[in-house]
Amino acid sequence: MDQIILQILNGLDKGSAYALIALGLTLIFGTLGVVNFAHGALFMLGAFCAVTLSRILTISHTVIDETKKDFLGNPLKVEVPYVNDWFGEATGQAIIDWSVPLSILFAIPVMIAIGVIMERGLIKHFYKRPHADQILVTFGLAIVLQEIVKYYYGANQIPTPAPEAFIGSFDFGALIGMDPGSIIYPYWRIVYFCFAMVLIGAVFAFLQFTTFGMVVRAGMADRETVGLLGINIDRRFTVMFGIAAAVAGLAGVMYTPINPPNYHMGMDFLVISFVVVVVGGMGSLPGAILAGLVLGILESFASMRQVIEVLPGINQVVIYLAAIIILLTRPRGLMGRKGVMED
Amino acid sequence: MSKTTLTRRGVLKSGAVAGAGVALPTIFTASSAAAYMNEPTGSSVTLGFNVPQTGPYADEGADELRAYMLAVEHLNGEGDGGMMNTFSSKALTGNGILGKKVEYVTGDTQTKPDAARASARSMIEKDGAIMITGGSSSGVAVAVQALCQEAGVVFMAGLTHSNDTTGKDKKANGFRHFFNSYMTGAALAPILANEYGKDRKAYHLTADYNWGYTTEEAVRTSTEAMGWETVAAVKTPLATTDFSSFIAPVLNSGADVLVLNHYGGNMVNSLTSAVQFGLRAAEANGKQFQVVVPLYSRLMAQGAGKNVAGIYGTTNWHWSLENVAGSRYVGTNAFVQSFGAKYGFPPSQAAHTTYCQTLLYADACQRAGTFNPCGVQEALADFEFDGLGNGPTLYRGSDHQCFKDALVVRGKENPDSQFDLLETVDITPREALTYDPAIFGGELGTCNPGA
Amino acid sequence: MLGLSKKDTSLLIAVAVLVALAPVLLNPFPENSALAQFNAGYPDLMQRFVIFGIFAIGFNILFGLTGYLSFGHAAFLGAGSYAGVWMLKLLTINVIPAILISTVVAGLFAILIGYISLRRSGIYFSILTLAFAQMSFALAASVLTPITGGETGLQTALNDPRILDGVNDSGNIPAPNLFGLEMGDSLQVNVAGWLWTFNAGYYVAGIIMLIAFYVAIRIFRSPFGIMLRAIKSNQQRLNYTGLNTRPYMLACFVISGMYAGLAGGLMVAMDPLAGAERMQWTASGEVVLMTILGGVGTLIGPVLGAGLIKYFENIFSKINSNLLHKWFSFLPDGLEDFVVTIIYPFIGKGWHLTLGLMFMGVIIFLPGGLVELGQRISRSFSKNKNDAAEQKPAE
């Protein structure tokens, strides 16, 4: 039982990452009709916003420590961050320690800006072009973004730990009245899940309860008519693109303590997030969330030792197997509408 | 052309005649004019450095490439000479190899066997490379080694740790300086038994590919010989990024040690997850829970950050070796000085092994008096040398594997710099790591000079 | 000729001439010149050009004609490769059975996947094919290791049975050959500094590509091809006329898969190793990119796209800073370093960056791919000639 709850938690956690990426992708892919292969790269850029902020916070001057030697036998140069000088050692270290949560504030404007620039500068010109052209241009863009990041940050993973207070794990089992020690779960993964839910809720609330959101939803349903009403739907779609980029970016920021980021992390999520969007149903935001969580949980269950022993290799194919079964039984995915991207 | 048997020579000769009739060009074919494949005829000799330049191992590949360029400098008599000054064989004089200036071409393996072979083939076919070296994974090493055997050039393996490279898949034209899974197991097990006790229950997570299998096998066998018990061994897909579903069940499995048979990004992510799930802080079976990483590299340690603190593993070499363990490992400081002065940071073990391989190849050619792969093989077979930073080393003739001491290391609790992440705990003498080449099967075959 | 229109015949002849002369045409720079780095006329790359050309031609039969975007075509390439290596291991080192069986196996595999995937269209079809290919890749790389060689790949070995061949006691694994003509055999001709390599394997692959290209033209021009185009333009209408489009689609999908299998078989015939990553989605994506880059739905476009991508992968990745310094050594020192610093990020380990920029550039400025570039050039050349003709009164 505890194993099952543990894997459900893992699945929700993994699934919330899938869901966040798929949410942004659905906003772009399911509504603007653009196949955005650069969406994984946006996730990666978000993660590197966190890396960048922690680099900025640790900009240092060097102090020579005569008691220690470096690898060439010279006196060791110790790096002292400027924030330590300005705020004192304790506060300075605390600021650096909290760099990942702080990056949320940093990433929102940066990612919205990147999204808007991308849409205005490039994607806008591809709304009317065939999907094949969109694939090529966004894939090219994804490669370029990746390579730029690699050029400045290298190919190796960069450790970006969570604040000290969130490192380690707690007894989740005791919390829900099970035997102590039966379900130990990391703090940060719970934080990630909650953060994802809040973010998803915020996007839905924005679309549901604001006039802006209402117009966008109307535009999704029938772009032409909304345009005829004299509403500038293009401008709103640009903003939507910015929001989608920010959602992907924030998913990346918060993901950094879970796995140290490298320039390639976006590509690892790209294929899976497309599968999630399609399984959820094209153009359906709740579908994307549902599919993300369901596939995440399935993947976690399939990775259990007891399951692998019966069906070797199932953990590697379960997501695709599920996608095939769902698409064959429900032609438009879990919650898809008729007529979206079927030609 | 009265005979219709279409032999290889026959076709080539008739082709040559037809060609000669047309434009009177100078014609030579790979298999008739030269004594061996890509025999250098001019004043220079070309080596092919085939390293990952894109993909997750790009940084490791970049470090290998730095070492190669340094080795070329030293072979050509530029720079401070590095380990050439400490190398026990004095055949090399800083005058290139056999008087020919050393030049090189570079390529990208992408850490994919297909791409690596394409890159190696272009070096052989287009650039006339006489030797191919490099790589950062065993899959690539095995694939490129087989290609070099077919093409008739020498392959000096870079970082490859699977037993198969010089075991099941060994080839007469291929040579490995790096240590292997078997040696890791043999070196690590006694230290683990000593530190953590003989009554331990281990849980293995194994990357689902060739290297993972041989490493799991080696560590299992040697820890079980010490009295450990293996509770479970779970294979994890190579493409896994989030290891939570593999790590989560470990704590309640009855195990008290987790062995991560992972390398590169896999290891960074699985170790990070293991620490997140509180394994390092937990207790199981009344003992402190422990995590072990059989194969360490500095780049992995950098990627995992603070999470490596206190975790045991093995390496082939470390830049602090001579300072820590004395003059048996002479050459280490010479290399670190030379590398550090040029690039500003200490070399990784991948850089060390590739530098050594280049020097060993050059020295073998020099002693053999030829670049012919068969001559190189003779010169390297059962070659005993010293002064390349690992202490006295044997290049065994029966499987082309180097035998030397192995390092057991531990992640430092309070590193001084981002390069000072590992501390040497123990050094296992090479006698304890030597095994019978027959145990891994495979056939060496005969050397192929390609002509 | 051969049942082709005059225009198609001249296209086929042009391609045949290009294939025949490629070893000369692809080596425009003398062997010892500084620019020799840009020569592509060596066997491995020329073989890759034609083999990936076949792969892309086959993909274009499906995508270009019917508009069905398969994102899992690499599965057939991989299946063909594995079948080919097994033939080389079990049967004979002669490449004929390997090439034939790999095509057949890929065809069977395509029937299976196509039968299921073609129940859906549009993006749903793409995801289904992607899912099948990713499953094949994941299983080939892990659970199926005894059959596929896992991550290392499947190779020939010294102790393979090779039941049709005699006893091999040379101590070396025999190389794939065609009745004794080894695929690696080459004739090198050195003319006044130019070095041309005429490779046996390349010409075998080249001839097969010409046949494949010819078959593709015939398919494009056949009633079957027109039916496929009709499916692309309006499948619903076809269905309403009472026509069942499924058999046509399946046939097209299987033909396309067999092209991929043929390419896979040729790949192992040239270089007997099949790696699992041949089936990965990135490999499927590559053939999509090749086709779009060259020009979707055109005959020659996919071949050009394949050539360009492979050229970048093999040539640009091999340029290093050492070479750059050599090329620009004529500049004053400071300027030389400056120029090298500017160019360095785009070559060697940065070749992906150049590739990405090229994708974007081509698709932004040439919506029809490389074929459009060719058309624009030929139009601008013939403009003067046609100026008079174009000034006909409007009808």
Q: Which residues of B touch A268 (CB under 8 A)?
A: 239, 241
List every span in chain B annotated with CATH 3.40.50.2300: 44-179+321-398, 182-315
Strands of the sheet containing B154-157, edge to edge, are B101-108, B44-51, B131-134, B154-157, B174-176
Instruction: Compute φ and ψ for A316, nearest 5 degrees.
Output: -85, -20
Region B83-96: mean pLDDT is 93
Chain C contact partners (≥3 CB pairs within 8 A): A, B
Give percent of chain B with pLDDT exceeding 70. 92
- How much is the mean pLDDT over chain B? 88
Q: Identify the helix (H) or strand (E) that includes residue C340.
A: helix C333-343
Which of C66, C359, C371, C372 is the best residue to mutate to test the A interface, defined by the most A CB atoms within 10 Å of its own CB?
Answer: C359
The type of residue at C84 is G
> How far does C150 lie from chain A, in Å, by closest CA?
13
Give the one of B246, B249, B416 whose C-beta lies nearest to A76's C-beta.
B416
**Distance from C-alpha of A111 to C-alpha of A242, rounded to nearest angstrom:** 7
| pTM across the whole model | 0.90
Cβ of residue C285 closer than 8 Å to a chain A Cβ: yes
C-alpha closest to that of B365 among B145, B179, B95, B171: B95
| Cβ(B259)–Cβ(B202) below 8 Å | yes
CATH architecture of residue range(s) B44-179+321-398: 3-Layer(aba) Sandwich (3.40)
C356–A140 CB contact, under 8 Å? yes
| CA-based radius of gyration for chain C | 23
Strand partners, B407: B315, B427
Longest dimension (CA), chain A: 76
Q: Which residues of C touch A137 (CB under 8 A)?
A: 359-360, 363-364
User: Which residues of B114-168 form beta strands (DSSP E)?
Assistant: 131-134, 154-157
pLDDT computed for residue C1 by the predictor: 63
pLDDT computed for residue B129 by the predictor: 94
**Distance from C-alpha of A243 to C-alpha of C12, rounded to nearest angstrom:** 51
pLDDT computed for residue A340 by the predictor: 59
Write the pLDDT tens digit of every residue in B239-279: 888 899 999 989 888 999 999 999 988 999 999 999 999 89
**Distance from C-alpha of C82 to C-alpha of C150, rounded to nearest angstrom:** 11
Strand partners, B259: B204, B292
ipTM of this complex prediction, to 2 decimal places:
0.90
| CA-based radius of gyration for chain B | 23
**Distance from C-alpha of C151 to C-alpha of C226, rounded to nearest angstrom:** 42
Instruction: Compute φ and ψ for A280, nearest 5 degrees.
Output: -65, -25
Instruction: Compute φ and ψ for B314, nearest 5 degrees.
Output: -125, 155
Residues sharing a CB contact under 8 Å with residue C241, sequence separation 6 or more, in sequence order = none
C289–A136 CB contact, under 8 Å? yes
pLDDT computed for residue C113 by the predictor: 96
* Helix, strand, coil % over all residues of chain A, rounded to 5: 70, 5, 25
The type of residue at C184 is G
Three-class DSSP category at B2: coil
Which residue has tokens 């500068």?
Answer: A121
Cβ of residue C228 closer than 8 Å to a chain A Cβ: no
The type of residue at B28 is F
User: Which residues of chain A form beta strands (DSSP E)?
Assistant: 60-69, 75-81, 169-171, 184-186
**Distance from C-alpha of C240 to C-alpha of C224, rounded to nearest angstrom:** 19
C-alpha closest to that of B161 among B142, B174, B145: B142
A157–B281 CB contact, under 8 Å? no
Does the pLDDT at position B435 exceed 80?
yes
How far CA A240 is from CA of A109, A118, A335, in Å, comes to 14, 12, 21
Structure tokens given for B365: 């050619």
Does the pLDDT at position B33 exceed 80?
no
C139–A313 CB contact, under 8 Å? yes
pLDDT computed for residue A276 by the predictor: 92
Region A212-238: mean pLDDT is 80
| Cβ(C110)–Cβ(C288) below 8 Å | no
Does the pLDDT at position B16 exceed 70?
no
> How far does B59 lie from chain C, in Å, by closest CA?
10
> How far does B299 lie from chain A, in Å, by closest CA?
7
**Distance from C-alpha of C246 to C-alpha of C228, rounded to nearest angstrom:** 11
Cβ of residue B41 closer than 8 Å to a chain A Cβ: no
Cβ of residue C138 closer than 8 Å to a chain B Cβ: yes
Cβ of residue A70 closer than 8 Å to a chain B Cβ: yes
Q: Identify the helix (H) or strand (E) that includes residue A102.
A: helix A99-121
Angle at B169 (CA atoms; ends B164, B175), nearest 5 degrees = 85
Give percent of chain A with pLDDT exceeding 90. 47
**Distance from C-alpha of C352 to C-alpha of A111, rounded to nearest angstrom:** 24
**Distance from C-alpha of B95 to C-alpha of B78, rounded to nearest angstrom:** 9
Strands of the sheet containing B393-395, edge to edge, are B383-385, B393-395, B402-403
> How far does A86 lie from chain B, in Å, by closest CA?
23
A135–C356 CB contact, under 8 Å? no
Does the pLDDT at position B360 exceed 60?
yes
| Nearest residue in chain B measured CA to CA from A147 | B54
pLDDT computed for residue C102 by the predictor: 97
CA atoms within 13 A on the CB side of B368: 20
| Nearest residue in chain B measured CA to CA from C173 | B150
Maximum mean pLDDT: which of A101-110, A278-287, C28-37: A101-110
pLDDT computed for residue B1 by the predictor: 31
Kindly give the parts of chain C with pLDDT less than 70.
1, 383-395
Structure tokens given for B396: 């065994």
Give the one of C190, C277, C349 whose C-beta lies nearest to B108's C-beta.
C349
Does the pLDDT at position B28 exceed 60?
no
- How much is the mean pLDDT over chain A? 88
Cβ of residue C363 closer than 8 Å to a chain A Cβ: yes
C-alpha closest to that of A93 among A50, A54, A65: A54
Region A208-212: mean pLDDT is 89
Q: Which residues of A touch C353 (CB under 8 A)?
A: 143-144, 147-148, 151
Helix/strand/coil (H, E, C) string of B265-284? HHHHHHHHHHHHCCCCCCEE
Domains of chain A in start order, with CATH, are 2-56+97-329 (1.10.3470)
The band of B142, judged by pLDDT with boundaries at 50, 70 and 90, is: very high
C-alpha closest to that of B354 among B321, B391, B316: B316
The type of residue at B346 is P
pLDDT computed for residue B26 by the predictor: 41
Instruction: Compute φ and ψ for B92, nearest 5 degrees.
Output: -80, 135
Domain B182-315: which CATH number of 3.40.50.12500, 3.40.50.2300, 3.30.830.10, 3.40.50.10490: 3.40.50.2300
The band of A118, judged by pLDDT with boundaries at 50, 70 and 90, is: very high
Mark which residues 178-197 of C lie under 8 Å from B by CB. 179-182, 184-192, 197
pLDDT computed for residue B32 by the predictor: 47
Cβ of residue A150 closer than 8 Å to a chain B Cβ: yes
Which of A26, A147, A272, A276 is the best residue to mutate to test the C interface, defined by the most C CB atoms within 10 Å of its own CB?
Answer: A147
pLDDT computed for residue A35 by the predictor: 83
Q: Which residues of A touch B269 (CB under 8 A)?
A: 157, 259-260
Which of B37, B50, B122, B213 is the best residue to mutate to test the C interface, defined by the most C CB atoms within 10 Å of its own CB?
Answer: B122
